[in-house]
Amino acid sequence: MADNKRPTPIPLATVGGFLGSGKTTLINHLLNQANGRRYVVFVNDFGAINIDLQLVETIEDDRISFSNGCVCCTLNDEFVGSVAEMSKRQDRPDAILIEASGVADPRALEASLSALEASNHVRLETALYIVDAGCFGQRDYAEVEMLIDHAATSDLVLLNKSDLVSEQALDGLLQEFSVAAPYAATLATVQSCVSPALLFGNSDRPTRPEAKAGPHRHPDYHHWHYSGRDPMTRDALVELTKILQQHFFRIKGIVQSAADPTIWLSLQVVGTRAVIGQLPQGFTGKDAVEIVGIGIGPKMRRVELDRSMAAFEETLKPTPALPAMFTGKT
Amino acid sequence: MSGTLFYGGTIVTQDPKYPAPEAVLISCGKIVAVGDLADIQPRADKATVQHDLAGQTLLPGFIDAHSHPIWAAKTRGAPVVDVRANIVPTYAALIGKIKRRVAVAAPGEHLLFFGLDAQLHPDMEAPTRAFLDELAPDHPLGIQTSNCHALFLNSAGFKACGIDETTPTPTGSIIERDENGVPTGKIAEAVTWTALESFYEAWGARRLAEEVEQQILAFVANGITTVTEHLYMPFYKASYMAALNQKLPLPRVACYQQATTPDMRVEKLTDADDRLWMAGVKIHADGSPFIGNIWLTEPYLSNEITLERMDLKPGHTGGPNYPQEYFERMVREYFSAGWQMTVHTQGDRTIDMVLDLIETLLEEMPRPDHRFRLEHCALMRRDQIRRAHALGVQCSFFINHITHWGAPIEDALFGPERAAHYMPAGSAVAEGMRISLHADTPMTDASALDLMQAAVTRRAADGRCLGEGERLDIETALKSVTIDAAYHIGMEDQLGSITPGKHADLVILGANPLETEGDRLGDIPISSTWLAGERVYGG
């Protein structure tokens, strides 16, 4: 029977959390200190992955392979297919981690994951959620409630950056999360330091009796995605960021520089704080502009946003865009 | 001829005259032709949009036979705080959520929490007025149960709703009181829904309009093109007309006006033609199995959940909402006026009472095609199904009870024998009934595919199957959210199948449900939804 030959499913964990909570730190730990284990990490974009060029073997559009056997992939439509394919390979990964906090449709991802689990390709080990303990106290009501709702439907909650709060405050937080997320294990961490064994261990997942009752709701998120073909100057990106900050709490983006098409800018926004950085040399994105926004609150003011975007695109027009042939990969 | 021509995929018409056509042509909001591509292609012209299904599956748009869109809009979305157990897992966590919300409340702000659940919040205690006053001394505060039937209020909440010791308890409702008649916190049934209006009104019309839009989008995003407004109240009309005037993709709405007295004027809704109409009159014969106010021949089980969290007495068999004579006067009034009746019935003793009444009414005033509907039908017995079928009575099942509350239904409320036939959709079909399924939104989220999966698997959240013998095959489940649901609302000649002449209400799915495993039906992606010939969702 075919079932007898079927390999054991690959352990899979998801990691969620606000931007800046420490998800990328966790992923970088995992990739850089794999100790012979082959991890595959799916992320929304490579923007924040701290790529050690010494380790990189190949870089493709949607995949970076490392010499230690780890792979970092973008989370896209081919996700289910790629995981199914990986699980059949001789050099199948030891574990898969998904950074899912920016996905446009969390329910679709849930469906994909349960399909992969049903077909025995993966075993959902841990839903991990990271909270920035250091700035929890500064969060407003809506942010706190969203954090808590997400934590409550997770298996493992990290109160990260716990070194930035007093012991007393940390005790208070641990107490608060033990009440608000009674079915999750809560851990105080520094630098997202958590053993991979805790994420992918072979023990059964903690049971959450009612957590599956009805579809999970992701109520107060709204997502927005923008892609463009024309590179942008840093100044234009700053202007665009100002517009987007009126609509979104978190923004991530990759933008090809109009001044030098070999340079790719990264955009990271949390609330009012925006950071524009530069991606490692050699990086190339699919489109010249890829931006994802995540807003908090009951709904997106779509009409207003579309109007602002249209006005913004008008301001770009006088700048002659580089012909596509000069933006090719090098 | 402009319109759209669909081809290149599987077409499931739900009309036996068109078993497996290659193509469907729609124009001016109607289905024009169904059949072989070679026959239909010549009827298209340059203006016709060619829509290649690319292997996907075209079906008639889904029909949710029992829903509450306006109420869902009022119940969902800020400032209502969602505390359902799948988000807020315990009563302790729920109280924490209330405290945090109260701490940031604006002066005088009305605070409402939706989703307290005696079955799913394992540490639940019924909150008293005094306890809620401690939590929120200054703000009107209410906690609504997830089954929608009950509300717990603090003193400011009672004041805001105008309920005190001098307020008479309306017939059919419950206001729990102390020995002096002072309300002690819990109210239930119709008075709950009027009390909640003072919260909704406080939040203003703009908030309501925004939430109505969100609900409309949620329905069409799930491929639902016809809903029912199963507790229509006259002031709902403004919201619906506003949505239509704004050209929002409002699914067609069959309205059933709520009656709580025998002298109500049933509104004639004629302004919006085939988008909004009065289909009949809705009456609650009993309440919710989850708060104990349904009428049973055999009592509830006695355990911690029923005795402590639900606060029932041992041997509790509940009762009907209205005194029997009063209930009969209401039904007689609206039935004799020619309306289709839909009556909320959960307990088997309630169903006995209603079937007795229907039998009497039909003897007094025979009516061949009355389609008298029983709603939810949790504990309907096999003999009652036979009797109902013989009387021409229709049954619509709230099948999501199984998925959302299956374990407590069996373990805590009714025991394995009754659980095995809880929401007996399979028995009803076996007796020859055409049934419909519903999500009763806002009680559970609207998704016809989830309903199908629930009816086909009868699998509870903890994985157990409640009554293998009551499971439906996928084909029947699909009928119950399309053509048979159309029959239940009296629109089978215009909706529910892909038939020439019917409204072009369609859904395109990423996979053919008839070839999908039963436990994966809910995962089928909705590619696009078409309402009156227009694409209103998807690409």
Size of interface A-B (CB pairs under 8 A): 91
Residues in chain B: 539
A9 and A79 co-located in one domain: yes
CATH class of B4-55: mainly beta
pLDDT at B481 over 60: yes
pLDDT at A4 over 50: no
Domain of A304, in residue numbers: 221-327
Which residue, among A201, A153, A210, has the nearest Cα to A177 in the 3D structure?
A153
Cβ neighbours, 10 Å, residue A94: 16
Mean pLDDT of A224-247: 88
A147 and A50 co-located in one domain: yes
Q: DSSP letter at B146?
A: T
A226 and A171 co-located in one domain: no
pLDDT at A50 over 80: no
- The residue among A210, A220, A300, A304 with the most chain B CBs within 10 A of its CB, best to mutate, is A210
Sequence-ordered list of residues with C-beta below 8 angstroms from that of B221, at least 6 positions apart, any chain: B526, B529, B537
Domain boundaries, chain B: 4-55, 70-200, 259-496
Which residue, among B245, B186, B219, B288, has the nearest Cα to B68 in the 3D structure?
B219
Q: What pLDDT digit, counting tens, does each position of B303-345 carry?
A: 999 999 999 999 999 999 999 999 999 999 999 999 999 999 9
A62 and A124 co-located in one domain: yes
Mean pLDDT of B253-277: 93
Among A6-15, B322-331, B452-461, which stretch is predicted with the lowest mean pLDDT? Answer: A6-15
Q: Residue A75 has what pLDDT? A: 86
Q: Residue A102 has what pLDDT? A: 66
A102 and A138 co-located in one domain: yes
Inter-chain contact A118–B93, Cβ cutoff 8 Å? no
A251 and A196 co-located in one domain: no
HEC string of B272-294 equals: CHHHEEEEEEEEECCCCCCCCCC
Inter-chain contact A145–B461, Cβ cutoff 8 Å? no
Identify the CATH number of the domain in which residue A116 sits: 3.40.50.300
Burial (CB count <10 Å: 0-12, 13-18, 19+), residue B192: buried
Q: Residue A211 has what pLDDT? A: 33
* Average of per-residue pLDDT values in chain B: 96
pLDDT at A127 over 80: yes
Q: Residue B238 has what pLDDT? A: 93
Any domain includes A154? yes
pLDDT at B462 over 70: yes
DSSP-assigned letters across all residues of A49-110: ----TTTEEEEETTEEEETTS-EEEE--TTHHHHHHHHHHSTT--SEEEEE-TT-S-HHHHH
Q: With cut-offs at 50, 70 and 90, classify the pLDDT of residue B281.
A: very high
A27 and A161 co-located in one domain: yes
Among A118-132, B94-108, B524-538, which stretch is predicted with the lowest mean pLDDT? Answer: A118-132
Q: With cut-offs at 50, 70 and 90, classify the pLDDT of residue A69.
A: confident
> H-helix or E-strand containing B361?
helix B348-364
Q: Residue A297 has what pLDDT? A: 45
pLDDT at A327 over 50: no
Any domain includes A236? yes
Inter-chain contact A149–B101, Cβ cutoff 8 Å? no
A13 and A69 co-located in one domain: yes
Which residue, among A271, A316, A276, has the nearest Cα to A293 in the 3D structure?
A271
Any domain includes A207? no
Cβ neighbours, 10 Å, residue B499: 21
Mean pLDDT of A53-72: 83
Any domain includes A216? no
pLDDT at B397 over 80: yes
Q: Residue A108 has what pLDDT? A: 76
Cβ neighbours, 10 Å, residue B87: 24
Percent of chain B with pLDDT over 70: 100
Q: Residue A326 has what pLDDT? A: 43
Q: With cut-offs at 50, 70 and 90, classify the pLDDT of residue A28.
A: confident
Give the distance from residue A315's alpha carbon to the nearest chain B alpha carbon, in angstroms: 29
Q: What pLDDT digit, counting tens, does each position of B422-446 carry?
A: 999 999 999 999 999 999 999 999 9
CATH class of B259-496: alpha beta
Inter-chain contact B84–A214, Cβ cutoff 8 Å? yes
pLDDT at B213 over 90: yes
In chain A, whose CA is at the least distance from the CA of B213?
A299
* Average of per-residue pLDDT values in chain A: 79
Q: What pLDDT digit, counting tens, does each position of B37-95 carry?
A: 999 999 999 999 999 999 999 999 999 999 999 999 999 888 999 999 999 999 999 99
A chain contacts of residue B92, beta-carbon cutoff 8 Å? 179, 182
Nearest beta carbon to residue B77 from set A141, A145, A298:
A298
Inter-chain contact A214–B82, Cβ cutoff 8 Å? no
Identify the CATH number of the domain in which residue A307 sits: 3.30.1220.10
Task: Report the domain count for chain A.
Answer: 2
Sign (positive or negative) of CA dihedral B366, B369, B373, B379: positive
Nearest beta carbon to residue B96 from set A111, A179, A208:
A179
Mean pLDDT of B372-390: 98
Among A313-317, B103-107, B112-116, which stretch is predicted with the lowest mean pLDDT? Answer: A313-317
Domain boundary at A168, A200, A232, which? A200
Q: Residue B95 has what pLDDT? A: 98
CATH class of B70-200: alpha beta
A90 and A235 co-located in one domain: no
Any domain includes A209? no
pLDDT at B181 over 70: yes
Which has more confidence, B276 or A287?
B276
Q: With cut-offs at 50, 70 and 90, classify the pLDDT of residue A249.
A: low
Q: What pLDDT digit, counting tens, does each position of B6-23 carry?
A: 999 999 999 999 999 999
A156 and A195 co-located in one domain: yes
Any domain includes A214? no
Nearest beta carbon to residue B96 from set A180, A215, A217:
A180
Q: With cut-offs at 50, 70 and 90, classify the pLDDT of residue A1.
A: very low
Inter-chain contact B86–A145, Cβ cutoff 8 Å? no
* Cβ–Cβ < 8 Å for A295, A222: yes
pLDDT at B206 over 90: yes
pLDDT at A207 over 70: no
pLDDT at B119 over 70: yes
* Cβ–Cβ < 8 Å for B18, B499: yes
Q: Residue A126 has what pLDDT? A: 83
pLDDT at B517 over 60: yes
A169 and A247 co-located in one domain: no
A30 and A101 co-located in one domain: yes
Q: With a cut of 0.90, is the ipTM above it?
A: no
In chain A, whose CA is at the least distance from the CA of B81?
A145
Strand order in the sheet with B224-232: B62-63, B224-232, B252-258, B276-284, B340-345, B373-376, B394-397, B436-437
